[in-house]
A and B are shown apart, each in its own frame.
Chain A
Amino acid sequence: MNGLSSVFNLLAYIAAAVFVLGFLNKVVLYFKTPSPLKIPTTPAPKTSMGVVVRLIPEVLFFRSLLKGGITEKILWLGGWVFHVCFLLIVLRHLRFFTYPVPECIMFFQQIGIWAGLVFPLALLILIVRRFLNDRLATITLFADYFVLGLIIAIGSTGLLLKYFARTNLVDVKAFILGLLTLSPVQLPDSPMFLIHFSLVLILLVYFPFSKLMHAWGILISPTRAQVDNPREVRHVTPWA
């Protein structure tokens, strides 16, 4: 195994560790931070089961966004399509992580390709809207462009790997499985793969320290995840 391969194997482990530990750290921090008062945005469900029913359409269909006007409808289109494509692409990639490849993952191979092609378009909507609307231009930070740019770069290098800079997939799979089984092997001989892979590592490291934590936040946001039963059940917090 050459030096570059050793470095990348090591970086991959570091990135994975930062992602997992960083994410868990935030999860634990949020869990340990109390909500001293009942603050669900009402009307709110009266039972825990009701909260689950409230959250499902929020997570799957970004329901609250649909309450807005045309700006939010455009955002919804870009955002929802982007997230669904992202999911399909990840599912497609699971064939590199499994041996033998389960039948259900084979199902996502073709649809994953289509998702990969739509992916940059959805991201383009998300970027362009930030330029065209004066309110969005005002609130947008460097971090917002950074993460959109990063994901676009990941998507494009992926497409390049598929259509133009084709690489030996057997080598790629061997490399990934090597990582997973803790028996690292040589990097695939492909600069494009190296770029694609590096960008994914950056995304993993960036994730827990950024707004991307909304992925977890949406599930525990007190205004949405609290039960509306303050008269029936006394809500207490140790410090209060």
Chain B
Amino acid sequence: MADFKVPELTGEIITPKVTLGATSGIKPFPANAELMGKVGFPAEKSADWKVKFLAKMGDILKKYKSVRVFLDICVRCGACTDKCHYYLSTGDPRNMPVYRQELMRSVYRKYFTTSGKLFGGLAAARELSDELLEEWITYFYQCSECRRCSVFCPYGIDTAEITMAAREILDSIGIGSKYNLAIINKAETIGNNLGMPGPALRNTLDFVEEEIQEKTGVDVKLPLDVEGADILLVTPSADFFAEPHIFSLEGYAKVFHQAGVSWTLSSHASEGGNFGMFIGNYNHMKTINKRIWDAARDLKVKRVIAGECGHAWRVLYSFSNTLNGPFDFLDPNYNVPQHICDYTLDLVKKGAIKLDKTANDDFSVTFHDSCNVARASRIGNEPGGQFTIPRELINAACNKFVDMAEETIGERTFCCGGGGGVLTDELIEVRVKGAMPRMQALKRVKDSNGVNFFALICAICKAQFTKIFPYYGIEMEEVGGIHQLVGNAIVLGAKEGV
């Protein structure tokens, strides 16, 4: 099914030899002039692109401490070189984080440092050229901004910051990624990444209600735009239509139903995801996030809870307060915003909902830490809660759970291969290959523990794995959200003692 070699599943992650140009031909589709215009970027590359390029780069160097400091202080120790899933699976040296950064650092030396201006090539300074631009377009879209490299770097240098800056520079000279910009445009004009208008959303929710009714006989509602509800749920729009995402949506609905709380979704903010982050554009990120902030205020809710999505959680948890101001109109007795796993586990612990683990006895479960949750945010109140809370919740919902190898989970988790704005068909080769380290770790627990349910809390991870599991000979149905397990296990109906 693939016109490239899918890595063999052996259970081992072996660092490959350097193979120059191994993935040099894989690039994102460019956004056309119309789309570029819609999202406020120049329609196309102009003759004076170098001037614009350097102006934007200079601007970023003044505005982002991360970029400035990271470009200066890397000592090329090499600790990151075998930490990127794309390098491990392709051997292309430009997929070594330090060498990916070198694409920007060499330009930085040439135009922004004394030594580069004086010594040129000897100081590894590189002039802007069309060739260099092609390398930027190629390799800054072969980074999933997963931050695994930053964990191992002695100075915490985060390639994601460099990649975001690079994409912002490319956009500013009229070179954009069709996939990312089309999604940003839909989120900003319609309210979600799918471009699903309010009435269509209501239809989908009706369908989910019928499904739950059919399967359980219980009348579980999925309210939309209910003013005065206690809780606003913001979830990735994939939850409304894609499998397995939609099973988690059923899970959230069942949890709220059984907890007996009033909750609502919003058609204005029918998207948790925020692709503004992937292209490093502050204003788009702010615009998209504002819809959530506005929806929470307009619907007069008391709490905002985020569904299963990695980068959405990063933006809501880490950036929202900065971007659009505090949710100071929400109930301060709760974490604002709160992650759905934090919320559900709390209900389980209080005994407010009951889970029947045997409902998941067909499953042997493992958990994939998604990068933006693992390395860029937190769940709950204690550092590392993003690792313990999902696992506690899984263990409350099923009997058979096993973790993958320690060096592939927690803060050292491997990306799914499709995060950070690369979840698009033209990049399928790097996506399939990039999943290799994760797949090897999964292979080991499949062999040792018969794992047949790969639990996740990220919409992009879910979409990526359902797409690439078949390449590795694994059924796509083995991928699912934690709230799919919770939805299976939750005991609906009258509560004991109520």
Instruction: Report A's interface with B, CB cutoff 8 A.
Output: 26, 29-30, 33-39, 41-46, 58, 62, 64-65, 67-69, 71-72, 75, 79, 129, 133-136, 138-144, 209-211, 213-214, 216-218, 220-224, 228, 230-231, 234-237, 239-240
A230's nearest neighbour on chain B, judged by CB, is: B318
Q: How far is the CA of A64 from the CA of B148 in the complex (A)?
A: 12
Q: How far is the CA of A211 from the CA of B71 in the complex (A)?
A: 9
Q: A79-B77, A211-B76, A213-B73 are in contact. Are A221 and B157 (CB under 8 A)?
A: yes
Q: Is the CB of A38 within 8 A of B322?
A: yes
Q: Choose from B65, B66, B73, B335 the contact partner of A231 (Cβ within 8 Å).
A: B335
Q: List residues of B (123-173) whose CB comes within 8 Å of A's CBs.
A: 123-124, 147, 150-158, 161
Residues of B within 8 A of A (CB): 15, 17-18, 61-66, 68-70, 72-79, 81-83, 93, 96, 98-99, 102, 113-115, 122-124, 147, 150-158, 161, 282, 317-319, 321-322, 325-326, 335-337, 374-378, 383-384, 386-387, 411-412
Given contacts A67-B412, A134-B17, A231-B321, contact A220 B72 (CB under 8 A): no
CB pair A240–B383 under 8 Å, yes or no, is no
In the complex, the answer to whether A138 meets B63 with C-beta atoms within 8 Å is no
Sample (20) of A-B pairs whose CB atoms are under 8 Å apart: A37-B322, A38-B318, A42-B375, A42-B411, A43-B383, A58-B154, A65-B154, A71-B78, A139-B99, A211-B73, A211-B74, A211-B75, A217-B72, A217-B155, A218-B73, A222-B156, A223-B150, A223-B158, A230-B317, A231-B337
Question: B121: nearest residue on chain A (CB-CB)?
Answer: A142
A236–B113 Cα distance when bound, in Å, is: 29
Given A75-B78, A139-B99, A144-B76, residue A230 in contact with residue B321 (CB < 8 A): yes
Residue ID in chain B nearest A140 by CB atoms? B76
Picked from A36, A46, A209, the residue with its CB within 8 Å of the CB of B383 is: A46
Cα A69 to Cα B14 in complex, Å, equals 12
Smallest CB separation, A220 vs chain B (Å): 7
Q: Is the CB of B318 within 8 A of A44?
A: no
Q: Which residues of B contact A65 (CB under 8 A)?
A: 77, 79, 152, 154
A36 CB to nearest chain B CB (Å): 6
The interface residues of chain A lying within 8 Å CB-to-CB of B81 are: 135-136, 139
Contact B151 A64 (CB under 8 A): yes
| Closest Cβ–Cβ distance, residue A37 to chain B (whole Å) | 5
> Of B65, B318, B377, which is in contact with the most chain A CB atoms at under 10 Å from its CB?
B65
Cα distance A134–B374 in the bound complex, in angstroms: 31
Whole-angstrom CA separation of A164 from B85 in the bound complex: 52
Contacts of B123 in A (CB 8 A): 142-143
B72–A64 touching, CB < 8 Å: no
A29 (CB) vs chain B CBs: closest residue: B68
Q: Which residues of A contact B15 (CB under 8 A)?
A: 135
With both beta carbons as reference points, the residue of chain B lying nearest to A33 in the complex is identified as B65
Q: B378 contacts A42, CB within 8 Å?
A: yes
Q: Which of A30, A33, A46, A217 contacts B63 (CB 8 A)?
A: A33
The reply to whether A209 and B62 contact each other, CB–CB distance below 8 Å, is no
Chain A residues contacting B70 (CB-CB under 8 Å) are 221
Q: Is the CB of B317 within 8 A of A136?
A: no
Are B326 and A234 interface neighbours, CB within 8 A? yes
